[in-house]
Amino acid sequence: MKEQQTKPVRDSATKSTSPVTENKASKNNLLLIAKVNKELQTNCPDIEPIKDVDIESKESLAHNLHYKKEGEVFRIRVFLEDGDNGSFQKLVHYKEDRDGFPQIQPLPKDKEREPSAEYLKSFYKDAQILHDEKDYRLELKDGREISISEINGKIVKLNSQQDDCLIEKE
């Protein structure tokens, strides 16, 4: 079996590089670009569509996932936290009580910062996804930034201040 090539991708949250599988990163970026371009063409037709090669970096600002497993509802939240040496991704895990109020669940200290995708998936493996919300920012090589909010895979907000384009949906 042929191993996939990896390349370093700039992680603007920590200003570091981490290996990312090229095929997976490209597939995710292409899907995101298609969704962004569809919104831009529909709502801001004067803006040129973006291409994969136009993206300098993609920064995850927050990710909230609610899931049901073995009859109980849980939430994971990953967000940018400011630290002494810059920003980092922080993970918080919740379990809802009988009134639906989230109770923080303890995590190993070494898993709270910069959680891997594999570790995050271990929480909701074999679970029913109830809600999936993501906020991220694309930094383009021409200096533009596009902020994007998705709920359950659909863009609900897109903002490109340099292009004077704001799209908000209910």
Question: What's the CA gap between 95 and 77, in Å, rounded?
Answer: 12
Q: How many CA atoms lie within 13 A of 34 on its CB side?
A: 8
- Residue 25's pLDDT band (cuts 50, 70, 90): low
Single pTM value for the model: 0.77
The whole-number pLDDT of residue 3 equals 39
Which of 125 and 6 is assigned the larger pLDDT?
Answer: 125
Q: Lowest-pLDDT range, 12-26, 39-53, 75-89, 136-150?
A: 12-26
For the segment 72-87, the average pLDDT, to the nearest whole number, is 92
Looking at residues 55-80, what average pLDDT do you find? Answer: 95
Alpha-carbon dihedral of residues 56, 80, 147, 36, nearest 10 degrees? 70
Is residue 52 very low, low, confident or very high in pLDDT (cuts 50, 70, 90)?
confident
Quick one: pLDDT at residue 113? 93
What phi, psi does 105 have (nearest 5°)? -100, 135
Average pLDDT of span 26-33 = 78
| Higher local confidence (pLDDT), 14 or 112 | 112
Average pLDDT of the residues of the chain: 84
Amino acid letter, 158: L
Tell me the C-alpha distance between 17 and 8, whole Å.
Answer: 5
pLDDT > 50? residue 143: yes
Neighbour tally for 51: CB within 10 Å = 12
Q: State the average pLDDT over residues 115-133.
A: 95
